[in-house]
């Protein structure tokens, strides 16, 4: 009986992921890891190993982005390979429909974590347009480069504006700071802008530009 229930859940998860992928594809979005197969994907909200501790969607294996953002990520990948041919980008989150954003906000509402989640009632954030990406770098063995904190760490240790001070205080190492600088170098070269409080988060445009020129993933 347990196996039957588990099989039914797996089928439901696959159907959910397929429906979401089809919707994004119909809207003209791009699975960027199909465009550049060196780009790795491990979507953290597809499991419980994220700051909410909750699985927010099931079964997604691709990183979908607006074509503008997808093109920029591919450029960042090319920039990385020029510098370190054996390194690859690893995407942890990409386009995020508003239904997922609402679920995320409900989980953290009323907690200090709410400060880190764009309020869907206020239009959400750049992930909800497919114009933001949570990303890091892996080595030739698929291991994430040390960055001082995991992706999705909530706290000052993830800030990018005080890294030299954190090195001097022993909070992060110089190697970890250099790895962050490498990530920012390739992402900004491709047109992305970093977020002060999260070393892994990059936006392609401002929220105002997204609201004026792009379509919200309101499903």
pLDDT tens digits, one per residue of 151-202: 999 999 999 999 999 999 999 999 999 999 999 999 999 999 999 999 999 9
pLDDT tens digits, one per residue of 37-75: 999 999 999 999 899 999 998 778 999 999 999 999 999
Count the residues in the chain: 219
Average pLDDT, the chain: 92
Nearest CA to 131 out of 98, 100, 95, 102 is that of 95
Task: Kindly compute the dihedral angle of the four CA atoms of residues 118, 124, 126, 132, in this order, to the nearest 10 degrees.
Answer: 60
Helix (H) or strand (E) holding 155: none
**Rounded Cα–Cα distance for residues 165 and 172 (Å):** 9
Tokens coding 155: 């706290």
This prediction has a pTM of 0.91
- Integer-rounded Cα radius of gyration of the chain: 17
- DSSP for 46-97, please give it: GSS-STT-S--S----S-EE-HHHHHHHHHHHHHHHHH-TT-EEEEEE----
């Amino acid at each position: 009986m347990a196996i039957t229930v588990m099989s039914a859940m797996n089928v439901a998860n696959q159907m959910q992921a397929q429906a979401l992928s089809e919707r994004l594809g119909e809207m003209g979005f791009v699975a960027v890891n199909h465009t550049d197969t060196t780009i790795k994907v491990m979507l953290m909200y597809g499991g419980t190993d994220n700051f909410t501790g909750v699985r927010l969607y099931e079964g997604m294996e691709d990183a979908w982005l607006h074509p503008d953002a997808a093109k920029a990520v591919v450029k960042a990948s090319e920039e990385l390979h020029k510098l370190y041919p054996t390194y690859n980008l690893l995407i942890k989150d990409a386009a995020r429909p508003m239904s997922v954003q609402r679920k995320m906000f409900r989980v953290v509402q009323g907690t200090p974590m709410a400060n880190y989640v764009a309020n869907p009632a206020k239009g959400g954030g750049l992930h909800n347009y497919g114009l933001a990406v949570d990303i890091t770098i892996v080595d030739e063995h698929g291991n994430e480069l040390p960055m001082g904190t995991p992706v999705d760490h909530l706290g000052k240790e993830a800030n990018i504006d005080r890294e030299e001070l954190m090195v001097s205080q022993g909070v992060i190492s110089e190697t970890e700071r250099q790895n962050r600088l490498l990530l920012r170098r390739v992402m900004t070269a491709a047109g992305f802008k970093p977020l002060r409080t999260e070393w892994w988060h990059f936006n392609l445009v401002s929220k105002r530009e997204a609201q004026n020129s792009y379509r919200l993933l309101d499903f």
